[in-house]
Structure 1
Amino acid sequence: MSFATTDDGVNLFFETAGTGTPIIFVHEFGGSHWSWEPQLNYFSRRHRCITFAARGYPPSEIPADVEQYSQERAADDVIAVLDATGVERAHVIGLSMGGFAALHVALRNPERVLSVLAAGTGYGAEKEHEEYFRGVSEQVAKNFSERGSKEYGPRYAEGASRVQFQNKDPRGWSLFAERLSRHDEVGASNTMRGVQMRRPSLYDLEDDFRVLDVPVLVMTGDEDDHCIQPGLFLKRTIPRCGFAVLPKSGHTLNLEEPELFNRMAAEFIAQVEAGRWGPRDPRADASQIMRTD
């Protein structure tokens, strides 16, 4: 087993597969390093793929102090894993919590990033829902710590933006729910309180996003309601950003629609590596409907 050590002394489990231009995959709250198996199987044929378990997710260490969990640490942990693998620059692909981390890696360390794919990224970002999100996040943290992952994990897996996965692929969803039921209760509750509840809204980072010179693809499901408007915001704010919407899809995009996810991610990476993912053509004036001159 391979581990990276962070600047605050936390050991993070990681694994690698394949050779080529590096891609690091950053998992969501409901997943872990295992969440990216369909992507490792696909992309390791021509890329060096790296996946890791975030702090609080076995076999990585589980700090008992919630103050050791934050959005900044989540981004810095990605860099710690890249350092441990000897990778200078990588494509960064993240889902949900991992998508937030990927964007923050680009903001904090753009020189280490070839591109960012942020999927299912937006929960808690909508300003009108900030307090609601913090409240439900606190309840989720309590549920993990008081009811335990074995009881509560499958219930969490049946949320409003997860049932799409359950309906399309009951077998795959059952495996997802079973693995979620094995999450460490301390790690899950501390991650929810330290990372999810405290992270800044994407809208609060508008000035930073406007000057971010990194190719970005934002991907969301059309039934992942609280990620759609934040996705549009990122598209309209980040200069080199594209926006992909997957039809009849929820939150767990890389597992729910692995073939479509992989195809779109591969095309994005190919465009980036060909130097074809530039900023929007200034002639594409959003205020114009038709030319009249």
Structure 2
Amino acid sequence: MPKASASDGVQLYFDEAGRGTPIVFVHEFGGNHWSWEPQMNFFSRRHRCVTYAARGFPPSDIPDSVDAYSQAIAADDIIAVMDAAGIETAHLVGLSMGGFAVLHAGLRHPGRVRSITAAGAGYGAEKAHEDYFKGISEQVAANFETKGAPAFSKIYAEGASRVQFQDKDPRGWQLFADRLGQHDSRGAANTMRGVQMRRPSLYDLEDEFRAMAAPLLVVVGDEDDHCLQPGFFLKRTVPASGLAVLPKTGHTLNLEEPMLFNQILAEFLAQVESGRWGPRDPRANPAEIMRTR
């Protein structure tokens, strides 16, 4: 079982498949390293694909202290996994919590990043909902502690942006829910308090995002309401960015719509590799509706 050593000694389990230009997949809070199986299977045909379990998620270590969890640590853990795998640069693909992590890795370690795909990244970013998000995150953490993951997962898995997955693919959703029930309750609570509750709003990083040079793909489900506006913000802010909105889709979009997600991601990676994904053409002035002269 290969493991990477983070800067504080925490051991991070990782898995890999395939050969070629590397892709590192970073999972969401509600998932784990298994959440990327449809992408590991597809992209390992022509890429070296790596996925790992974040700290607090078995079989990686589960630090006792909430201070061992933060957004900066989560970003640096990606680099620790890359170092252990002998990868100098990689395409980074993250969902939700993982989407925030790959964005921050791009800001903290730009020389290690070939491109960034941030899917479903937005919860807690909206300034109007910051206090609500922190409060509800504390409730989620407390529920993992008091009810335990097997019981609370049945509630969490039927959230407003998860039921789309359940409606489309009951078997796939049930597998997601079952794996969620295997979370370590302490690790989940510490992750929620240390990472989710404390991470800065994307809007507070506007200057940094405007200076970001890495190609960025933002993917959002159109029924993942609290990720839509942050997705638009990233598109309007990061110079070499594109936005894909998946119709009738919720938060767990790489599992809910695996074929569509893979198609969009594959096209993005191909354009990046060929040098065709650059900043927006300056003639595409968003203030202009129709040209008159």
TM-score tier after normalising by the smaller chain length: over 0.9
C-alpha distance in structure 2 between counterparts of 1:253 and 1:279, whole Å: 26
Q: Which residue does the alignment assign to 1:105?
A: 105
**C-alpha displacement at 1:169, in angstroms?**
0.1
Query: How big is the shift at 1:38?
Result: 0.3
| CA deviation vs aligned residue, 1:149-177 (integer Å, no higher than 9, x gap) | 01001210100000000000000000000
Deviations 1:190-227 (A, max 9, x none): 00000000000000000000010000000000000000
Alignment-derived partner of residue 205 in structure 2:
205
Q: What SS class does the counterpart of residue 219 from structure 1 fall into?
A: strand
Partner of 1:153: 153
C-alpha distance in 1, partners of 2:287/2:278? 20
Cα separation, 1, equivalents of 2:114 and 2:158: 35
Deviation of 1:285 after TM superposition, in Å, equals 0.5
Work out the CA distance in 2 between the residues paired with 1:243 and 1:9.
37
| Gaps in structure 2 of 5+ consecutive residues | none
Structure-1 residue corresponding to 2:245:
245
Q: How does 1:122-271 map to 2 (within 5 A)?
A: 122-271=122-271
Structure 1 distance, partners of 2:176, 2:291, is 50
Where 1:160 maps in the other structure, the secondary structure is: coil
Q: What is the match of residue 62 of structure 2?
A: 62
Matched AA of 2:256: E
Cα RMSD, aligned residues only:
0.3
Q: Give the AA of the match of 1:257.
A: E
Distance in 2 separating the partners of 1:85 and 1:154: 35
Q: Deviations over 1:122-181 (max 9, x none)?
A: 000000000000000000000000100010012101000000000000000000001100
Per-residue displacement from partner, 1:81-104 (whole Å, max 9, x unpaired)? 000000000000000000000000
SS of 1:83's partner is helix
1:41 aligns with 2:41: yes
**2:113 aligned with 1:116:** no
Aligned partner letter, 1:229: Q
How many angstroms apart in 2 are the aligned matches of 1:286 and 1:220? 21
Residue 35 of structure 2 corresponds to residue 30 of structure 1:
no
- 2-side partners of 1:16 and 1:139: how far apart? 35
Letter in 2 for 1:256: E
Q: 1 CA distance for matches of 2:291 and 2:7?
A: 55
Residue aligned with 1:192, SS: helix
TM-score by length of 1: 1.00
1:280 aligned to 2:280? yes
Q: Using the TM superposition, give the Cα deviation of residue 182 of structure 1 relative to its aligned residue in structure 2, in angstroms.
A: 0.8
What amino acid maps onto 1:212 in structure 2?
M
- What is the one-letter code of the residue matched to 1:130? E
Q: Does 1:82 find its partner at 2:101?
A: no
Letter in 2 for 1:267: E
Identity %: 70
Aligned residue in 2 for 1:15: 15
User: How far apart, CA to CA, are the structure 2 residues paired with 1:150 and 1:273?
Assistant: 42
- Secondary structure class of the residue paired with 1:23: strand
Structure 2: distance between partners of 1:74 and 1:95: 13
> What residue identity is the alignment partner of 1:194?
G
What amino acid maps onto 2:128 in structure 1? E
Q: Residue 113 of structure 1: CA displacement?
A: 0.3
Residues in 2 aligned to 1:13 and 1:75: alpha-carbon distance in whole angstroms = 16
SS of residue matched to 1:116: strand
Instruction: Describe the SS at the equivalent of 2:262.
Output: helix
Unaligned runs of 5+ in 1: none
Aligned residue pair count: 293
